[in-house]
Amino acid sequence: MPDTLTKLAYQTFQQGKQAFGYTHKTLINRLREVVSPVEPGSTSKIPASTLSLLKQRLDELTEVDWQDAEAGVYPASLLFDNPWDDFFKYYPMLVFDTPSVWERSKKKQYQDFGADVDTDGYPSYYVQNFHHQTDGYLSDMSANLYDLQVELLFNGAADPMRRRILAPLKRHLDNLTGNPKVLDVACGTGRTLKMIRDTLPQASPYGVDLSPTYLRKANELLSQEPGTLPQLIQANAEALPYLDNYFEATVSVFLFHELPADVRQTVINECYRVTKPGGVFIICDSIQKSDNPEFAPMMDNFPSVFHEPYYRHYSTDDMQSRLESAGFHSVEVSNHFMSKYWVAKKG
């Protein structure tokens, strides 16, 4: 397909996802006003100028994503990769589950798990209904709904944000021979691992996460297509089950805002330990307050609307200092849309 046509197709695809996200949220919010209204004043109103800035940032993200695909950083097919079957299959379930999410939010129930969910052995900071979601991260239903929820939250920008880690990762690994090992810490349902495999087929991908059901979902996704099946391990990122200096690259997407401050440092220290000297560690997470003061009201609303208990601290945390205190150096920081990136070197 000529480039201009592919670009047009990609822009249309992203606009479709944006429209789906806006429409879903508008309808669900209207329904909530009738069925389970939130207390007035519990969140601040977002000015129209902020929403238009947000739209501009989203368009910029789409453009830079397209440019990377056009430059061959990753295959253009990645731009259109979407778990459609799951989306159609699980959208009705997500809608039917929404009233229980509202109920949990209204009653401030943050540790509400079904009788069949085994919460033993997990750190207490983890045993919560992050995003008010049913069963937290600990059921198959939660794993089935997760990608759809994130797509709706970010109006289709979740994968474009994850793809921002690929250019620095590729720049680093392209200089190496053999099969460089890449670890995704808190790999969730495996979307980043799939992107890494499609972009760097020579790499040996590894994934670690605390949730057995999310790992099962990742395995389902990653075994659908040919390519190296990443080694997936259930483990706490605070004690990664790997030897020192094992990985040429370590990445982590959307994890650190969900960790208490001290755990954030422990996990960064662990990522340092398992990364080889000369290796790279790349983080993608939420933007922080100092990046976009205009988005501060949204960042203030986020922890209560989506039950993110550690987000407030994260939003002003000095991640660069944490990386440097672990031993990383030459930390490069950048922002795209609602996300922030740290690319740090070891040794």
**Binding site residues, ligand SAM, CB under 6 A:** 126, 137, 162, 186-188, 191-192, 209-211, 214, 236-238, 253-255, 258
**If residue 336 lies in a helix (H) or strand (E), which one and from where to where?**
strand 329-336
Select from 292, 227, 219, 214 the least CA-distant residue to 258: 214
Q: Are strands 339-345 and 275-286 parallel, antiparallel or unpaired?
A: antiparallel
Task: Let me know how many helices (H) and strands (E) the chain has, helices first.
Answer: 12, 7
Closer by beta carbon to ligand SAM, 7 or else 258: 258
Closest approach, Cβ 67 to ligand SAM, in A, equals 22
Among 28, 137, 145, smallest CA distance to 86 is for 145
Report the 10 Å Cβ neighbour count for 227: 13
Q: How far is the CB of 171 from ligand SAM (least distance, A)?
A: 21
Instruction: Rank residues 213 and 292 by Cβ distance to ligand SAM and give the closer one.
Output: 213
Minimum gap (Å) between residue 255 Cβ and ligand SAM: 5
Q: Which is nearer to ligand SAM, 7 or 65 (CB)?
A: 65
Those residues with Cβ within 8 angstroms of residue 207's Cβ, 6 or more apart along the chain or in another chain: 183, 184, 187, 190, 193, 215, 218, 230, 231, 232, 233
Shortest CB 236 distance to ligand SAM, Å: 5
Cβ of 124: how many Cβ atoms within 10 Å? 9
Nearer to ligand SAM, 183 or 210 (CB): 210
Which is closer to ligand SAM, CB of 7 or CB of 249? 249
Residue with the shortest CB distance to ligand SAM: 188
Q: Which residues contact 90 (CB under 8 A, 6 or more apart)?
A: 144, 145, 148
Burial group, residue 121, by CB count within 10 angstroms (0-12, 13-18, 19+): exposed
> CB of residue 270 vs ligand SAM: minimum separation in angstroms?
9
User: Nearer to ligand SAM by C-beta: 7 or 146?
Assistant: 146
CB of 196 to ligand SAM, least distance (A): 12
